Amino acid sequence: MKKITAADLLRLGFHRVDVPKEESGDEDYFYFVFDIKANRPYAILITGDDDNEKDEHTVEINELDDAVIIKDLNDLESLVDIIKRNVNNE
């Protein structure tokens, strides 16, 4: 299994979202999202914020409550490729 790094996420088209402590109520943190833009932007894939210090990320399908967790870079690359080939990004 190959870990997923921040550089991998950016290369695949994710973007980083920074949350300052003023908004979080605790500490600064960040996460990454992969948006599709069919009709309106929608974050379809999202990382957790707990993996940042090790630069080893897991990716989840947004709003599925941890039903699918991707930990392997090859799996993530395959999923992103499928999404990019099948979504009408207008």
User: How much is the pLDDT for 11?
Assistant: 96
3-state secondary structure of 18: strand
User: How much is the pLDDT for 44?
Assistant: 84
pLDDT by residue, tens only, the chain of 90 residues: 899 999 999 999 999 998 888 887 888 888 999 988 755 667 789 887 665 667 889 999 888 877 889 999 999 999 999 988 887 654
Q: Tell me the DSSP string of 43-72.
A: EEEEE-SSSGGGT-B-EEETTSTTSSEE--
Q: Which two tokens stand for residue 50?
A: 């707990």
User: How much is the pLDDT for 56?
Assistant: 86
User: How much is the pLDDT for 41?
Assistant: 67
